[in-house]
């Protein structure tokens, strides 16, 4: 599943090619995604211009101006991707939606499992029910260890699923939660409410470090994710624990262990994480 670094990598990859461009044509080959593509999408977009691309959690925000005014909201789901193509480049299987731009470039949405979606927002983005209750962005000034400490009090669930709660902080999915907890030396099974403020401050720093490195490396390529330019991410080559159960810890050499937390597989080092 594309997580925050993959979505941010996509945003950075496609932004230079679409911002300020006029939409000349909308081609919908498959409208039945997780939510149906709006019937009037072409009517709203053709002749309009793409504004500065944004991101909130794993949602891509594409402001539209000139003609219809609103925002395209895109979620990549489990297997979706947005990439740039050119006129004459034949669509592949599962290339469901094309936005043809005035310079001949095509913003192409691809999604084999169809768990993602493209939707239209007329009103304020902040008031949309999918975005209104989200926690702070992990790379923003609003997020720090004090925030995690305050939100964790009296919480008895394990710290890893606590981190993956989008109401606490957005975009820290399974891969990056596991990696950040390793860097911070925290056992993913520990109760969230029993971790000290000082350790949460170290954990917040580790989350920033892991996400920043993943974005710099273009995301983590798992199965079929590619960024907006069609290139794979390379952060998987730097993973310390995720997907490495039974292998030696890169730090101490102990065998990494596998547990299930919140119905998700979690790999950790019992020697380094306490």
Which residues make up the CATH 1.10.8.50 domain(s) of the chain?
Answer: 145-268
pLDDT of residue 221: 44
Confidence (pTM): 0.87
Query: Do residues 224 and 78 make contact, with C-beta atoms less than 8 angstroms apart?
Result: no
The fold of 145-268 is Helicase, Ruva Protein; domain 3 (1.10.8)
The residues assigned a catalytic role are 2-3, 58, 264
For the annotated binding site, the residues are 94, 113, 155
Residue 93 predicted with pLDDT over 50? yes
What does the pLDDT average to over 221-227? 43
Mean pLDDT, to the nearest integer, of 44-67? 93
The answer to whether 58 and 171 have CB atoms below 8 angstroms apart is: yes
Of 152 and 6, the one with more pLDDT? 152
Question: Please, where in the chain does CATH 3.20.190.10 lie?
Answer: 4-127
End-to-end Cα spacing for the chain: 28
What share of the chain has pLDDT > 70, as a percent?
92
Annotated binding site for DNA: 94, 113, 155
pLDDT at 237 over 80: no
pLDDT above 90: residue 236: no
Work out whether strand 95-101 and strand 23-28 pair parallel, antiparallel, or are unpaired.
Answer: antiparallel
Report which DSSP code applies to 148.
H
Model confidence at 148, pLDDT cuts 50, 70, 90, reads: very high
Chosen CATH of 4-127 out of 3.20.20.140, 3.30.450.40, 3.20.190.10, 3.40.50.300: 3.20.190.10
For residues 218 and 240, give the distance between their C-alpha atoms in angstroms, rounded to a whole number: 17
pLDDT greater than 60 at residue 232? no
pLDDT (tens digit per residue) in 160-169: 999 999 999 9
Can you count the helices (H) and strands (E) in the chain? 6, 11
- Which pLDDT value is given to residue 230? 52
Q: What tokens were used for 105? A: 């470039």
Mean pLDDT of the chain: 92
Q: What is the mean pLDDT of residues 200-207?
A: 98
């Amino acid at each position: 599943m594309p997580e925050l670094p993959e979505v941010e990598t996509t945003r950075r990859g496609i932004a230079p090619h679409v911002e300020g461009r006029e939409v000349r044509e909308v081609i919908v080959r498959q409208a039945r995604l997780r939510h149906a593509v709006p019937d009037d999408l072409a009517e709203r977009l053709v002749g309009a211009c793409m504004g500065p691309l944004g991101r909130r959690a794993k949602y891509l925000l594409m402001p539209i101006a000139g003609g219809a005014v609103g925002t395209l909201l895109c979620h990549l789901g489990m297997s979706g991707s947005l990439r740039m193509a050119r006129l004459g480049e034949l669509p592949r299987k599962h290339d469901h939606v094309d936005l043809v731009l005035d310079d001949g470039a095509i913003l192409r949405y691809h999604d084999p499992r169809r768990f993602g979606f493209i939707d239209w927002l007329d009103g304020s983005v902040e008031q949309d029910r999918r975005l209104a209750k989200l926690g702070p962005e992990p790379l923003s000034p609003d997020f720090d260890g004090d925030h995690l400490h305050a939100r964790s009090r009296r919480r008895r669930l394990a710290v890893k699923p606590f981190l993956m709660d989008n109401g606490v902080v957005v975009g820290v999915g399974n891969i990056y939660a596991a990696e950040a907890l390793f860097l911070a030396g925290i056992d993913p099974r520990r109760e969230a409410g029993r971790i000290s403020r000082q350790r949460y401050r170290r954990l917040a720093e580790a989350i920033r470090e892991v996400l920043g490195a993943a974005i710099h490396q273009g995301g983590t390529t798992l199965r079929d994710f590619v960024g907006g330019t069609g290139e794979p991410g390379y952060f998987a080559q730097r993973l310390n624990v995720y997907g490495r159960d039974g292998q030696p810890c890169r730090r101490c050499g102990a065998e990494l262990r596998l547990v299930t937390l919140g119905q998700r597989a979690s790999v950790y080092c019992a020697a380094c994480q306490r």
